[in-house]
Amino acid sequence: MHISKRTQKMCQPALLKYYPLVEEAKKKGRKVYFLNIGQPDIKTPDPFLKAVCAHQPKVLEYQTPEGILALRTASSSYYQRLGLNYTKNDIFITNGGSEALLFTFLSICDPGDEILTPEPLYSIYKEIAAAANVKLVGIRTHAEDGFALPSKDAIEALITKQTRAILITNPGNPTGKVFSKEELNCLSELSVKHALFLVSDEVYREFLYENLTYLSPAQDQKIPEQVILVDSISKRYSACGARIGFIVLKNQALKESIKKLCQMRLSVSEIDQVGAVNLMELEADFFQSIIKEYSYRRAIVFEGLKKIPGVICKMPKGAFYFMVKLPIIRADHFIEWLISEFAYENETVLLSPADDFYLDPEGGKDEVRLAYVLNAKDMQKAMGILEKALEAYKIAFPEMCK
């Protein structure tokens, strides 16, 4: 029987592949600190849960394919508060940010077309691109200089006749990179010059530190027809299990294409949409205590990493991840050993190997992504375990260390 090349090209995300080993570790009575995945431990806001519990229709019916009016209206008000002039008619509700990305890829690319994106990149981009028969072309950035974009000329050299868009994650996953005004202007200028879409994945929009100001390509009045915002309630509202995402855009022709895809899958969960209405109505002060908490966790991790000899990382300016270069040869071997063999006071940590965040896996073979999504006490403990683990690994596998 034939299996499509499309799905054969797709890979299991590395951040999930160690779970069978985790189950074995748990059977041995070990506690595992999960630093591998961006699952916030902050409580989901009560307004969401109350709205869901209060919603008791006699029949759960299909809803409007582009999303219920109440949620699109509330979302429009949210974007207006950010200074972005999007109306309810500019917004499509999707099954999470992943469907938003898939619909975007399918709408702007034909099979074999290309999308440029800074690398390291969010690993799921690769699988969505494979499903859509789209080629991702990496704009290589490096930990040593804070994952800054290369020169405009270097980026332009990557553009071909098949290039259809530039895709950024701002703030970045896995890097925590926040794009500067100069970098965004550079990408906007290239988009105009080469008639490209500029896709801005802003799932971590509110996670900005050190009093940084929110910047978005959507603020550029020169390219309203070329900007596509991809968004989700998962991270900012600690609601990953409520699969609500957004595609936000002005381009009318592209809206018609995306609408067809929404109609194809009929509708998004009515219950999740009803709950999300209340989330989108929360004011900016809701995030103040959350950002304060994540800032504290970020400081704990950075101080912990600085104590470990040979570790290279920069303080991230956004999101809730560190991209860390370790003094080892292969992060995947280290992580597997961490879970299957190592324990300190009967506890260990699970990290995500960074090779999953590169188009060429060799690019991040000595790096890991670390998510600071646990409470401060647990993050402190986890950093101590990581330090002990690297010491023990160097003794056990000197040939695998730098």
In the chain the domains, ranked by start, together with CATH numbers, are 5-43+286-396 (3.90.1150.10), 46-280 (3.40.640.10)
Residue 354 contacts residue 323 (beta carbons within 8 Å): yes
User: Cβ atoms within 10 A of the Cβ of 189, count?
Assistant: 15
Q: How far is it, in rounded angstroms, from Cα 10 to Cα 128? A: 8
d(C-alpha 335, C-alpha 353), whole Å: 7
What is the DSSP annotation of 323-357? EEE-SBS-HHHHHHHHHHT--BTTEEEE-EEGGGG
Cα–Cα dist 341/357, whole Å: 25
Specify whether the CB–CB gap between 262 and 66 falls below 8 A: yes
Condensed to tens digits (0 to 9), the pLDDT of residues 215-274 reads 999 999 899 999 999 999 999 999 999 999 999 999 999 999 999 999 999 999 999 999
Between strands 245-249 and 227-232, the pairing is antiparallel
Say what the pLDDT of residue 17 is: 78
**CA separation (Å) from 305 to 81, 386, 387?**
37, 9, 8
Tell how many helices (H) and how many strands (E) occur in the chain: 14, 12
Edge-to-edge strands, sheet with 352-353: 321-325, 367-371, 352-353
**Which pLDDT score, from 0 to 100, does residue 284 have?**
82
pLDDT by residue for the chain (402 residues), tens only, comes to 888 878 888 777 766 778 888 899 899 999 999 999 898 999 999 999 999 999 999 999 999 999 999 999 999 999 999 999 999 999 999 999 999 999 999 999 999 999 999 999 999 999 999 999 999 999 999 888 889 999 999 999 999 999 999 999 999 999 999 999 999 999 999 999 999 999 999 999 999 999 999 999 999 989 999 999 999 999 999 999 999 999 999 999 999 999 999 999 999 999 999 999 999 999 888 999 999 999 999 999 999 999 999 999 999 999 999 999 999 999 999 999 999 999 999 999 999 999 999 998 788 899 999 999 999 999 999 999 999 999 999 999 999 999
Q: Which amino acid is at 394?
A: K
Distances, alpha carbon 398 to alpha carbons 132, 311, 336, 339, in Å: 43, 16, 16, 19
H helices of 31-116, where? Answer: 46-54, 69-81, 96-108
Do residues 211 and 242 lie in contact, with contact meaning Cβ atoms separated by under 8 Å? no
Model-level pTM? Answer: 0.94
Integer Cα distance of 283 and 49 in angstroms: 17
**Cα 261 to Cα 100, 105, 255, 256, 266, distances in angstroms:** 10, 11, 10, 9, 9
Strand, helix or coil for residue 261: helix
The two three-digit tokens of residue 127, written as one number: 């699988």
Residue 17 is encoded by which pair of tokens? 């592949």
Q: What is the longest distance spanned by two Cα atoms in the chain?
A: 65
pLDDT at 15: 63
Rounded Cα distance, 288 and 295, in Å: 11
- The answer to whether the beta carbons of residues 363 and 355 sit under 8 Å apart is yes
Q: Checking DSSP bridges between strand 245-249 and strand 91-94, what pairing results, if any?
A: antiparallel
SS3 at position 37: coil
DSSP track, 133-193:
T-EEEEEE--GGGTT----HHHHHTT--TTEEEEEEESS-TTT-----HHHHHHHHHHHHH
